[in-house]
Structure 1
């Protein structure tokens, strides 16, 4: 195997196994930053060793064992340094005893628990949102700082600083390496789901740049969601979020044409939707619904959004969409998770179910909402509804305003095109 082929193998194994390795080391060392450092040292060792000695039969086990050896060496060194401090020495002895028996085993019973603990650490509410996102992609996604920066179109040093600050904050706050319980578990799980949701949304509808979507982010969020569903199989909202991402991802091929130009939902070629992802999404939604019924609960925000997506997925043609059900689901969503963005989406559903005037009434009520002041989709939705009502001059102005608010080049071109179409419609009426 050539050196370049070995390097690709190392990088592929690292991307798959790094989260598990860091999780196990974090249990041993009680420091997520130090754990990542030790894991990175094992990665460097593989890059140096495998081209010379050949790729091991079990690459994942090799990396895990190499990383554990480094962690144990560090613990022994700390023990020698602190031997005059009995309490600390006793603690380190305990860690060494815990780690030693299974040193040569790369796969152990606790790995699943360790990975879940790492998820809760990376998404801890003590961190700012951007820190949670960056640390999650770094520790659980195995992405490099450069890859994260490229995905979010921010300078690499900015991402590096976010990760460093996040690790420092976790250390200073002495965040325990554990899965919370009771009410704290609910709160922390909300944070975990929010981070995965934010990553997915940025991939599904890129906030800036030349591309309509960033598929790599969607794929990473979906992978993390699937892992979380395996680690927390009794949590309905975890399955709800997975269902939402699976169904939304099923449309990826149909969301742009051959030139990368966006294709809106009602204009998409539904034969290009991925039926396997739809089936997976519907199965996850059914699981969320089953768990809710078992617990005597109603669907949560992610499951409700998945149910809305499922209405689109089940419609073979755009005109078959059950807009009345979608409007009802948005009513339910607005009750349990009220927000201006949800209300704007509800306006679209109401317009499709009961006519553009009904939807415009809801959208107009949001015009003074501070949270939507710079949100391009408010004038975009108003423009669409005004155009359907034949108020083309007003619609053109709204589309033009929306184009000035978005930082995504593809979306801007789409909005300017719609503004131009309104202008042509006005000119045609005046002729």
Structure 2
């Protein structure tokens, strides 16, 4: 298994090979071969400069592959057979690789897989395990992604927004709604976000990193025995990771001070207010509604409108929350669950029971379905004489 120290070198080394003229797929394969060699030899003979060693070994692997490829005979190579002199590039190559893996032409699932493979340094088997798919399926997905970006120039301006969306998808895949948490994937997204934050001063990168940290700080309390879903209001806040929360808040404050608000910063601000509150009742719901208003101005997202309705219900009462919910598409996932919660708070238990049952039938995961089924039974119990 690749160690964290080695894994952190992967994107920069691939970037160096690509900058020298290697195509992405060949560069990535060469680096993987060099990593295997490193794991075999470094314990007994560690290099003084691990990155330079990996670059040299990967370049040799690449050249060996080029020379042994019979289909290339008789054609001029698109790369020099000797590496250029000078220091090994670092940050710029890594940043180019982020942009390449999150290229807009790639489907989101492929971009995520390629980012985990090339930037995160995970093996195909590790990625397949995280996604709960066969290794062969994931290998095909990664192979198709490599072919799709083959020949794309890395000297064009990259789309940072696409990179951030891919990173957030990686994190959400690990911190998903299925009631379980693939800690490796969520932690991997945070690790990659830290690298990206060190390479660019964009406040939205910092905002995304802060958002991930603030959510990840609750990981130990989100589920109970057997993967049972535990809502935010019922989580044991004494078990939240206060160090991770403090780090996330500090990163967020520095980003907000730049006065270039983006949706990741706004989402992180909401997460910070939840993290700062001793309980649900003591949460600053009025300020959370204000942040949701900022988010709506930035994104006009139906999901933001849904979450804002919950916050309005807490800040101004259930009836106000239901009025806000009226603007949300009835077909939106989780809308019925939110409506059930608000109707219960408004005292309409019969309607709440109906909506909890409806929500359980349309739940997208087993833990969510089980949670809503329990809520249905609880409210029906309250209706009995």
Q: Check if 1:141 corresponds to 2:141.
A: no
Of residues 159, 174, 178 in structure 2, which corresponds to 1:203?
Answer: 174
1:352-389 superposed Cα distances (whole Å, 9 cap, x missing partner)? 111111112222332445xx2xx2x1111111111112
Query: More helix per residue: 1 or 2?
Result: 1
CA distance in 1, matches of 2:135, 2:354: 37
The residue aligned with 1:391 is 348
The residue aligned with 1:54 is 44
Cα separation, partners in 2 of 1:41 and 1:213, compared to 1, 3 Å: closer
Cα separation, partners in 2 of 1:323 and 1:194, compared to 1, 3 Å: same
3-state SS in 2 of match to 1:33: helix
Cα separation, partners in 2 of 1:253 and 1:33, compared to 1, 3 Å: same
3-state SS in 2 of match to 1:390: coil
TM-score relative to the length of structure 1: 0.81
TM-score relative to the length of structure 2: 0.90
The residue aligned with 1:5 is none
* Kept in 2: contact 1:392–1:426 (CA 8 A): yes
Q: 1:409 Cα shift?
A: 2.1
Q: Check if 1:193 corresponds to 2:172.
A: no
Q: 1:321 Cα shift?
A: 1.0
3-state SS in 2 of match to 1:23: helix
Q: 1:332 Cα shift?
A: 1.2
* Kept in 1: contact 2:302–2:329 (CA 8 A): no
Q: 1:342 Cα shift?
A: 0.8
Of residues 65, 78, 92 in structure 1, which corresponds to 2:79?
Answer: 92
Q: 1:159 Cα shift?
A: 2.1
* Kept in 1: contact 2:101–2:114 (CA 8 A): yes
Moved more, 339-348 or 212-221: 212-221
Q: 1:280 Cα shift?
A: 1.1
1:17-416 matches, within 5 Å, as 17-46=9-38, 49-50=40-41, 54-58=44-48, 60-61=50-51, 62-73=53-64, 92-93=79-80, 96=81, 99-102=83-86, 108=88, 110-171=89-150, 174-178=151-155, 180=157, 185=158, 188-206=159-177, 208=178, 211-233=179-201, 235-257=202-224, 260-292=227-259, 297=260, 299-369=261-331, 372=332, 375=333, 377-416=334-373
Give the number of equivalent residue pairs: 383
* Kept in 2: contact 1:149–1:156 (CA 8 A): yes
Structure 2 residues without counterparts, runs of 5 or longer: none
In angstroms, what is the RMSD of aligned CA positions?
A: 2.6
CA distance in 2, matches of 1:244, 1:197: 10
1:324-367 superposed Cα distances (whole Å, 9 cap, x missing partner)? 01001101111110111111011111111111111122223324
